[in-house]
Amino acid sequence: MRPYAPAVPRGAFPEIRGLLTFGSQVLGVAEAEVRKLRHDPLELLTRAIQPVLWLVIFGQVMARVRGLSTGRLTYIDFLAPGVLAQSVQFIAIFHGVSLIWDRDLGILQKYLVSPAPRTALVLGKTLSASVRALSQAVIVYLLAVLMRIAVDFRPQSILGVFVSIIIGASLFSTLSMVIACLVKTRERFMGIGQMLTMPLFFASNAIYPLSIMPWWLRAMSTANPLTYEVDALRTFMVHGGASAFGLQVDFAVLLVWLLVLVWTAARLFPRLVM
C-alpha cells in the first residue's frame, strides 16, 4: 500500500493529525484499487451492456404495458434511476471477490500487518468501488440523453446523484466484503453474489412502483436498502421525480446500513487470512 502523506503542521491537535492520517490510509488503499481499473479499461465497456439492455429493450417493451402507473413520470423516466442503481449494485456486490484475490496474492496480508486500522482498509476498498460505480453513471446519463429521458442536469441534482451513488456503492461493496470474509473462496462467493443480486433488484422499486406490489413484496422492499437508493436517485436524476419516503429517510437508512456493514467487515477482515 502506498499511502498519501498530507502535510500536517507540527502544532496540530492530535485528533486532527489522526484524522488526516486515517484519510491518507483510506486514499492509499483506494488508489491501489483504482490503479487496477486503469490496467483493464475493457471492463468499463463490458459493464455498459447491462444498462443498454434494460433501458433499450426492457424499458421500451414495458412502456407499452397499460395499467402500469408511474405517477407523473413516463415509464422510461421512472426506469432510468432504477437501472443506474442496479448497475451500481451489480458492480459493488461482486467487489468482494477482489478481496479473495488479494489474499491469494499475499496483498491482503500486507494490508493487515500495516499500521492502517481495519476500518481504513474497508473504507478504501469501498471508495474504489464507488469510483467504478460512478463510471456507470456516465454511461447511463449518456444513454438517457440519447433516449430523451427527462434528466435533471441542475448542479444540485447531479451532486445528489453523485452522493447517492457513493453511499450505495459503498454499502453493497461492504456487504460483498462481509460475504467474502465468511465464505473465503471465489466459487462460493460468486454463487452467493449471483443469488443475492436479482432478489435484491426485483424486491425493490427499481422497475415497478411500490403501490402495485403485493403486501408481502412491499414489506420486503421496505427492508431492502436498494429501495432507498433508487428512491433518492429517482428524486435527483429525473424531472418530476419525488421521494416516496423522504430524502432524509432514504439517506438515514442507507447510512445506518453502511455503518453496520463497515463495522462488521472490519471485525471479520482477519478471518479471511486464517
Q: State pLDDT tens for residues 202-229.
A: 999 999 888 888 999 999 999 999 999 9
Q: Does residue 16 form part of some domain?
A: no
Task: Name the residue range of residue 197's domain.
Answer: 29-273
User: pLDDT tier at 6 (50, 70, 90 boundaries)?
Assistant: very low
Q: Does residue 1 form part of some domain?
A: no
Q: Does residue 19 form part of some domain?
A: no
pTM of the model: 0.83
What's the number of domains the chain is made of?
1
Q: Does residue 126 form part of some domain?
A: yes
Q: Does residue 10 form part of some domain?
A: no
pLDDT at 133: 82
Using DSSP's 3-state secondary structure scheme, residue 238 falls into strand
Q: Does residue 22 form part of some domain?
A: no
Tell me the residue ranges of DSSP E strands in the chain: none
Q: Which of these, 98, 102, 85, 100, lies nearest to 197 by C-alpha position?
A: 85
Which residues, 6+ apart, have CB-to-CB distance to 73 below 8 Å? 150, 238, 240, 241
Convert the pLDDT of each residue in 43-100 to its tens digit.
666 667 788 888 888 888 777 776 677 778 888 999 999 999 998 898 888 877 877 8
User: pLDDT tier at 104 (50, 70, 90 boundaries)?
Assistant: confident
pLDDT at 154: 93
Convert the pLDDT of each residue in 119-134 to its tens digit.
777 887 788 788 878 8
pLDDT at 36: 60
* Cβ proximity of 207 and 63 under 8 Å: no
Q: Does residue 53 form part of some domain?
A: yes
Checking if the pLDDT of 239 tops 50, the result is yes
Q: What are phi and psi of 151, to 5 degrees?
A: -75, 140
Grid coordinates 455503518 are at which residue?
A: 259
Q: Does residue 243 form part of some domain?
A: yes
Computed over every residue of the chain, the mean pLDDT equals 81
Grid coordinates 411500490 are at which residue?
A: 210
